Amino acid sequence: KQEVTQIPAALSVPEGENLVLNCSFTDSAIYNLQWFRQDPGKGLTSLLLIQSSQREQTSGRLNASLDKSSGRSTLYIAASQPGDSATYLCAVRDGNKLVFGAGTILRVKS
């Protein structure tokens, strides 16, 4: 059974810092991995998708990497801003479904 873990559970940083969010999964036989952002009480916004054959994807200040063999992914956020404050969720595609971690709650202080 696929299990996804995200560390840390919560993170508070001053504006402008670069930061890394971690995601690990137990079964390396994944099709792809998605990173999402969720604002309080809202739905999920897809940030990046990495195919199992890829090593990383970039979008603006975000960079996600994937090491399938070790069961790990990282989301790097450069020059953090208060507007980046949200919960960040990692999910792996396991057959027809996504299996999610519990998320990292990020607070960027101005």
What residue ranges bind other proteins (CB under 8 A)? 4, 31-32, 34, 36, 41-46, 49, 51, 89, 91, 93, 95-103
Which string of b and e fits 2-41 if b means at least 16 CB within 10 Å?
bebebeeeebebeeeeebebebbbeeeebeebbbbbeeee
- Closest to 13 measured CA to CA, from 63, 82, 64, 75: 82
Please report how close the Cβ of residue 69 comes to other proteins at its closest, in angstroms. 21
Q: Which C-beta is closer to other proteins: that of 30 or that of 77? A: 30
Please report how close the Cβ of residue 33 comes to other proteins at its closest, in angstroms. 11
Please report how close the Cβ of residue 83 comes to other proteins at its closest, in angstroms. 19
Q: Which C-beta is closer to other proteins: that of 15 or that of 107? A: 107
Q: Which C-beta is closer to other proteins: that of 18 or that of 59? A: 59
- Closest to 32 measured CA to CA, from 13, 9, 17, 48: 48
